[in-house]
Structure 1
């Protein structure tokens, strides 16, 4: 079992960070006005978690059994329950109630990479969703049946997800960039009755076949009785009679709307799979009602989203960030959502700026890598667009370094954009640490504060609290509504993987973290991402932070490789911004040595033109390691934003 003994107690990125006052005023939507009130509410929420979450849940329309007599019960490892016996419908609370109050407000504004645009009002979203739900029912889908959604970011993706919510089907969104085998593995595991896909999508100017990818493995998927195809590219695809149906034709011939089904608060609603790069993918099971309540709460505190906002979550629908912050948590607040298909820097590097300016986007949720991409393209490009409507940028996936944080504040917008870094996992179902918009201070690089209703601790090897400023294991000590409930078809793996190190009532995140004197949580890396150099365990994230502090460095990644003498040694990879000058391997090695010590000096530093990234913006460090050890990337690359970069990197690393 990986341990964290001898990790550095206070990394420079923590020591040197300073609190930044919020630039937005306190929101009338939040129940607190300052940090003191925030901390007071946080402590009250922990005193009775059930009552706290019951108060949040009272925001929504319930069908029966409300208020619930029992709000929190059961065992963390063996099955916990919120709002036991109470029923509601997620689609009603995300769509119907907004359609009733303001039917003509734009719910979704879709922009295709090729310039195609469409929009649906809340009434149009309701009509399409409810009729498609009826069409699924007519195809034999009933409550508890599984539906696979193999779609990119489209308007129809929202209708597909909420149609499943409406009739109680359990859906699994599958990343549209996955290979045929990865697609088949997930459909086999869930025994999906229906697959919803598209004829294709666009990525960096090239069509990506989706229906053809599904067709190539359908003979291995006996559970699939029907395939629904959204027309996106107009590609000529094979359609088998009685099995395959075009989405638009189903809608045109289905005039009735499905009535919403009452769903008990703890019933499963969807399955989201982890990437499965090192083991069989894990199907994380989430309750729909709990997910709605928790993601609504998350978006409220971290984005202060409202009907007046034009809001863009840049993630791909195949990653849980998108359902948390747009598909469910975003829609619950009734804002206008921007839905974008394609690469964020295509066909021109200022594509994102153009969208912000033209659509008058007020808030964005994205990954730090996106902001580093903007910084790499320079000040002039940012200042050539009117970004004055942008008021807040929320982040998840990894810490944002102070250098990029300050560049964004100075160059994107009018100098007052609030930047909020958050933290969460697919397992947690929400970003449960954050700044409270307009209320609490932020620190570049930190994950902010635990939001009310979320109990946590940082433990040492013995299971005792690690103490302020000391790195330990980050654990969650009480369940909250968005947390996953089990692993599909494998409850033993659920217990073994997450509840072994510290027992059945403390969820092990497998992240190494510390809390500073202001209560901010800093995640310094995965426990298994910490490398052992001559008996010293060092945080790769700390080394990356040191590299990113060098002017001109746009991106940095550090991995550990085997060494006969020291056991492991760090190897670094760096990509440079347009303004970089006089940056050498020796300079970068010395920067890490100065910041951390000679023990952390990298064996090599490679200067690259780009990095392999997922569509959610994370650098795939595993592939960089494979490239320098094996000379080629041998692992799964289907989740990459641009698989073509690997051939380029192979040449650069020779």
Structure 2
């Protein structure tokens, strides 16, 4: 149990968009508002879209339609809307808003580009016309395999504008991973670039794109953005089309009047086994949920700048796009890494571009901490109002470093957890309430979440399964060409109850903590143990930078904990350090939960957005097939885990 360390001031609470929304609906008590939101979900989500002032081509006839069953809930039935129109056209009509900055882009090499809402709208219309010239029709799938550049956002909005469906692909994927997605969704066009910079090095993207397209019979054209103007970039004249040639026609193009539940995006998530899952999202789903979470929960509004360290291939990339644009805000895209060319790169960007909302993972903070506080000294960071965090549970030391050293105890850390199939968050911190380190204040408005035991009964004070009891705007419209897998994954355990796959604990003060994925959770001598519980103890030690814990079969305890630790640069591996760490875990959790082994490694297997792949680690350590590794940033880390195995 940890005491709160950040407390909202009364005048700040009253300026929050969440408070203003509550007040418009006759409420000033947050808990009352939350209960109203989950007891009357139709009322709540209609309230949200009205407050966002979304424009409809045809009014909806029913807010929530569950006639096909709760897992297949439809929102705003019979309504016609287009997300690109709502992101751009309604602001362009406003003489003030049209000149507001929509995108700031900074390249790895320091290049900067900015577009206003008016300029972004013109670019989107031009590329939309270009796609139509290539024969792209409503419902066609367009894969976007681009670095974090402005054209990535333009392509997403242009595809949605003409009623087609875009598939964002992680910029770090190799050809095989891209091909798997192209083949599964039968993409008609692939949008890519000649390459990009990463840590000062040229990454040749077109070569990977060509290999992926060669393996995908459905791909008719490859659109190429010249990010690097490479003279040695390979070209296939019959298939390749230059972005600049395709976007010459700047005439206006109105948006297609798409159905509210019509797909606009398929975003793939990697599974540990089998092919990746293509999560389907609609025009009135994902964007609305992202806009609510960013705008009301994180308090992002017009004049604010959101910078989330992510990639468009991960959910938080599209989330940033729609969360910022639907709120009339500015997004910042960054091609590079937070510590290149120097460890102050991230702070320099925040200061230079006057970032107000910074989204960052615990992994990035752990990496920056090791360079020390001196790299913060040159920057005021006085524009920051909110830190956002998602992807991994926090440990106390990096959370405190961000809060105390970077935010000077003034900037709240908005902890946020949900998923690709959610379109955003289930749990979050609450800027209207005190915040305790590493915690969540509870479920977000509109999310009827609960922690339950093995019989689906609510529990407090012990670890349980996170479930959602009511449909919400943004819930997935199934998996592409695989409805049965969608039902089996989330709806199979209990009738009409979404089982998210996270283990969560609610303490006596009402703070919620994620202890790990339920399939990562250990059961040692009959006691359930989240990996985060062990990992937090290990990183409390001054020698440990980060850690990960997995469970392996054990003849005595059923399962035993195996820990992996990355040491800080000024510490060396030793048997005495291992014993010290073992003792620390045993003293704080009990002797029965003492790890079976602790291994020192140089790095942990992660995705580029900072998620530690514990299931991959477990497979590598136990000699099993690791499953889909396409999202892995550092494959050599898996080999190091394999070498630690006693078998």
TM-score where L is the length of structure 2: 0.92
Query: 2:644, 2:197 → 1: CA distance?
Result: 28
Query: 1:214, 1:321 → 2: CA distance?
Result: 23
Aligned to 2:477: 485
CA deviation profile, 1:263-318 (whole Å, cap 9, x unmatched): 21111111111113322211111112111211111112332112222221111111
- Aligned pair partner of 1:296 in 291, 307, 318: 291
Q: Map of 1:130-141 to 2, 5 A cutoff?
A: 130-141=125-136
Aligned to 1:548: 539
Aligned to 2:386: 392
Aligned to 2:85: 92
Secondary structure (helix, strand or coil) at the match of 1:245 reads: strand
Give yes or no for the alignment of 1:25 onto 2:12.
Answer: yes
Aligned to 1:83: 76
**Paired residues of 2:64 and 2:75 also in contact (CA < 8 A):** yes
Deviation at 1:624, TM superposition (A): 4.0
Aligned residues: 634
**Paired residues of 1:274 and 1:282 also in contact (CA < 8 A):** yes
Q: Map of 1:137-536 to 2, 5 A cutoff?
A: 137-235=132-230, 236-252=232-248, 254-324=249-319, 326-437=320-431, 439-465=432-458, 467-503=459-495, 505-536=496-527
CA deviation profile, 1:424-465 (whole Å, cap 9, x unmatched): 01111111321232x122222223321211112222112222
Give yes or no for the alignment of 1:558 onto 2:549.
Answer: yes
**Paired residues of 2:2 and 2:436 also in contact (CA < 8 A):** no
Deviation at 1:565, TM superposition (A): 3.7
Moved more, 54-63 or 151-160: 54-63
**Paired residues of 1:377 and 1:577 also in contact (CA < 8 A):** no
CA deviation profile, 1:316-357 (whole Å, cap 9, x unmatched): 111001111x11112211222210012222222221122122
Query: 2:563, 2:268 → 1: CA distance?
Result: 30
- Aligned pair partner of 2:567 in 566, 576, 582: 576
**Paired residues of 1:383 and 1:412 also in contact (CA < 8 A):** no
Give yes or no for the alignment of 1:598 onto 2:615.
Answer: no
Deviation at 1:473, TM superposition (A): 1.4
- Aligned pair partner of 2:48 in 40, 47, 56: 56
Secondary structure (helix, strand or coil) at the match of 1:339 reads: strand
Aligned to 2:580: 587
Moved more, 153-162 or 580-589: 580-589
Query: 1:378, 1:463 → 2: CA distance?
Result: 46
Classify 1:203/1:525 alpha carbon distance in 2 versus 1 (closer, same or farther; 3 Å): same
Deviation at 1:104, TM superposition (A): 2.4
**Paired residues of 1:76 and 1:478 also in contact (CA < 8 A):** no
Query: 1:546, 1:76 → 2: CA distance?
Result: 44
Classify 1:644/1:208 alpha carbon distance in 2 versus 1 (closer, same or farther; 3 Å): farther
Query: 2:636, 2:113 → 1: CA distance?
Result: 30
Deviation at 1:652, TM superposition (A): 9.3
In structure 1, runs of 5+ residues without a counterpart are 1-14
Query: 1:76, 1:475 → 2: CA distance?
Result: 17
**Paired residues of 2:92 and 2:117 also in contact (CA < 8 A):** yes
Query: 1:646, 1:526 → 2: CA distance?
Result: 20
Give yes or no for the alignment of 1:608 onto 2:601.
Answer: yes
Query: 1:37, 1:475 → 2: CA distance?
Result: 25
In structure 2, runs of 5+ residues without a counterpart are none
Classify 1:634/1:80 alpha carbon distance in 2 versus 1 (closer, same or farther; 3 Å): closer
Classify 1:353/1:120 alpha carbon distance in 2 versus 1 (closer, same or farther; 3 Å): same
Query: 1:561, 1:652 → 2: CA distance?
Result: 13
Deviation at 1:76, TM superposition (A): 4.8
Deviation at 1:184, TM superposition (A): 1.0
Deviation at 1:633, TM superposition (A): 9.9
Query: 1:645, 1:204 → 2: CA distance?
Result: 20
**Paired residues of 2:60 and 2:77 also in contact (CA < 8 A):** no
Give yes or no for the alignment of 1:42 onto 2:34.
Answer: yes
Deviation at 1:187, TM superposition (A): 0.8
Deviation at 1:617, TM superposition (A): 1.0
Query: 1:459, 1:653 → 2: CA distance?
Result: 35
**Paired residues of 2:19 and 2:28 also in contact (CA < 8 A):** no
Moved more, 600-609 or 196-205: 600-609
Question: Cα RMSD (Å) of the superposition?
Answer: 2.6
Larger RCO (CA under 8 A, 6+ residues apart): 1
Query: 1:577, 1:301 → 2: CA distance?
Result: 38
**Paired residues of 1:511 and 1:527 also in contact (CA < 8 A):** yes
Aligned to 1:3: none
Moved more, 310-319 or 583-592: 583-592
Deviation at 1:644, TM superposition (A): 5.9
Query: 1:256, 1:577 → 2: CA distance?
Result: 56
Deviation at 1:67, TM superposition (A): 5.5
Classify 1:415/1:633 alpha carbon distance in 2 versus 1 (closer, same or farther; 3 Å): farther
Deviation at 1:91, TM superposition (A): 0.9
CA deviation profile, 1:503-529 (whole Å, cap 9, x unmatched): 2x1111122112234443322111111
Classify 1:16/1:28 alpha carbon distance in 2 versus 1 (closer, same or farther; 3 Å): closer
Deviation at 1:100, TM superposition (A): 3.0
